[in-house]
Chains A and B, each alone.
Chain A
Amino acid sequence: MLHRLQQPWVASIAIFVGFICIWAWFTTTTSGSGSAADAEYARLAGQSAPGQQASAIPSPWAVALRGYELIAHALDRDNPNNLGIAWHLLYSMGRVALGFTLALAVAVPLGFVLGLWPACYRALDPFIQVLRPVSPLAWMPLALYTFRDSTISTIFIIFICAVWPMLISTATGTASVRAEWLNVSCVFGVPRLEHVTRVVFPASVPMILSGMRISIGIAWFVIVAAEMVGAQSGIGYFIWNEWNNLQITSMIVAIVLVGGIGLALDVILKRIGERLSFRE
């Protein structure tokens, strides 16, 4: 029994339960004690004030209830102004998928070329180094101005933030193939094309995949902010809209969902990575 308790997942559940308890305690007890000023305010303000909540942060039960409601109506689409949350998540994932695929299509071949010809890498490196640290959102106004379309702009933002990690890791992976494998090609006279496809490429697959994993994380990270600025759908828009409606419970539910999907994307890419990488 005791060794069971030492398993990490038991501790994780305990931490989760503890967190919920503290959250519940803070959000339910403040109404009784610390609200002398609130009571005064309510008396002065008359009928408009009693609507004020006990706490600014909703209780876990309220969030759970709201989560149930949102998920029960997740697939609603009869009212275009009141789309179900699943549709918002699908819009976001679609934009991430498009932007990420475009970035992949550019980054991997280009990174391969840069890795094979170090001179090209050195020539392009200053541009990469200057563009890479720019916050993707800094591109947003320029993208909106240029494309005059919010969906295309969001996809562009995803592209621009996902391209760098994949480009750099592909180039590094291609350029740093182990000397012993290069020697094998050399000694046995493997021709250039076969060398690239059968030695260099498989050798850099693990690096390419870890770049992809970083990129998808950043893309999912950035989509929320991008949609807050320039979209009429998607999970970022949803969160911003609920904020405007002061629906704090919905915002918290959305945050949990964003986190869960981010985790799922990471796990999927990790699995693909384990499948495609060679073992030693």
Chain B
Amino acid sequence: MADLDINDVSMSFVDRSGKELRALDRISLAIEHSEFVCLIGHSGCGKSTLLNIVAGLLTPTSGAIRCAGAVVSGTAPERAMVFQSHALLPWMTCVENVHLAVKQAFRGASRSELMDRAEQALKLVHLEHAIGKYPFEISGGMKQRVGIARAFAVQPKVLLLDEPFGALDALTRSSLQDELMRIVETTKTTVVMVTHDIDEAIFLSDRIVALSNGPAARIGRIWKIETSRPRDRLKLTTDFEGIKYRKEILEFLYKKEPFPQLAS
């Protein structure tokens, strides 16, 4: 049984003039346990919308999401999310931010146990020195580490990442990718990640799912990335295999599904 089952999901929005806009058109995708899937596509194609539907922040117009067999209705810590804008509450310290999430996921646990879990999560991302610090006191990359720690701390069945490294510089981004891969491999968490970055997708994914251009986006193509793990970032950018994936994805995005403004 798939960990996450996206079954014939369509999503329409009604704009201000009352016209119906179809964002997603009959998307089906089954994601296996401990699989890492990246959603890729041009901006505005609806990949974040799909992720928000999986998270339960949006309700699809038709179709359903099943998480470990149960139909999803609304949000739950079993589908924890890492947001693009780190989304830490600035009036809480790092450990309090994690604690707020942990508390909801492990109802009935003692305060010291919850605190322990929150601290462990921060240690997992090498932030033991920032436990008592406020978000404004740490760098952008560290904030996103706290965001990742918060999501892992609730031990989700499926981890959702919405362009988590989009706002970071290239060096910070690679070190966070390494960190994410290490944690995912040890915890065997199922991951769905939205990204713009092709190299990031190839480096991290078991499968890359490219959406066609909106409106009414569908699944355009799926690549199975068979490069063995642990992966070497340098090798991937120079090896034939990595280059092949890169070329195919670029071709899909720029030839078959060119950016809407360029197509006309």
Give me the interface of A with B, judged by CB distance under 8 Å: 180-181, 183-184, 186-191, 198-199, 202-203, 205, 278-280
Contacts and interface: CB of A to CB of B under 8 A. Distances in A.
B136 A181 contact: no
B259 interface: no
B143 to A, nearest CB: 10
Contact of B91 (A180, A183, A202): A202
B136 A190 contact: no
A188 B80 contact: yes
B67 to A, nearest CB: 13
B87 A279 contact: no
Contact of B90 (A186, A189, A279): A279
Given A189-B105, A190-B104, A181 B75 contact: no
A107 to B, nearest CB: 22
A280 B57 contact: no
B100 interface: yes
Contacts, number: 58
Contacts of A199: 89
B87 A180 contact: yes
Given A183-B81, A187-B55, A198-B89, 15 more contacts: A183-B83, A184-B83, A184-B89, A186-B56, A187-B77, A188-B77, A188-B80, A188-B105, A188-B154, A189-B77, A189-B104, A190-B100, A203-B91, A278-B91, A280-B135
Nearest to B104: A189
Q: Pick from B79, B87, B105 the residue with the most CB of A within 10 Å.
A: B87
Contacts of A279: 90, 134, 136
A4 to B, nearest CB: 34
Contact of A183 (B87, B101, B136): B87
B118 to A, nearest CB: 12
Given A188-B77, A189-B77, A278-B91, A198 B100 contact: yes
A79 B135 CA distance: 59
A187 B75 contact: yes
Residues of A contacting B: mostly: helix
A204 to B, nearest CB: 11
Most buried by B among A186, A187, A198, A203: A187
A187 B91 contact: no
A280 B136 contact: yes
Interface in B61-95: 75-77, 79-81, 83, 85, 87, 89-92
Nearest to A198: B100
B160 to A, nearest CB: 8
B91 A186 contact: no
25 contacts: A180-B83, A180-B85, A181-B87, A181-B89, A183-B81, A184-B87, A184-B89, A186-B56, A186-B57, A186-B75, A187-B55, A187-B81, A188-B101, A188-B105, A189-B75, A189-B76, A189-B104, A189-B105, A190-B100, A198-B89, A203-B89, A205-B91, A278-B91, A279-B134, A279-B136
A180 B100 CA distance: 15
Which of A188, A198, A278, A280 is the most central at the interface, judged by chain B CB atoms within 10 Å of its CB?
A188
A188 B90 contact: no
B136 A187 contact: no
Contacts of A280: 90, 135-136
A180 B90 CA distance: 12
Contacts of A183: 57, 81, 83, 87
Given A180-B83, A279-B136, A188 B57 contact: no
Contact of A188 (B85, B100, B136): B100
Contacts of A190: 100, 104
A279 B91 CA distance: 7
Nearest to A186: B75
Given A279-B136, A280-B135, A280-B136, A187 B80 contact: yes
Contact of A278 (B76, B80, B90, B105): B90
Contacts of A198: 89, 92, 100
Contacts of A187: 55-57, 75, 77, 79-81
B114 to A, nearest CB: 13
A205 B91 CA distance: 10
A180 B55 CA distance: 14
Most buried by A among B75, B134, B135: B75
A202 B88 CA distance: 13
Given A183-B57, A187-B57, A187-B80, A202 B100 contact: no
B128 to A, nearest CB: 22
A184 B97 CA distance: 10
B83 A188 contact: no
Contacts of A203: 89, 91
B104 A188 contact: yes
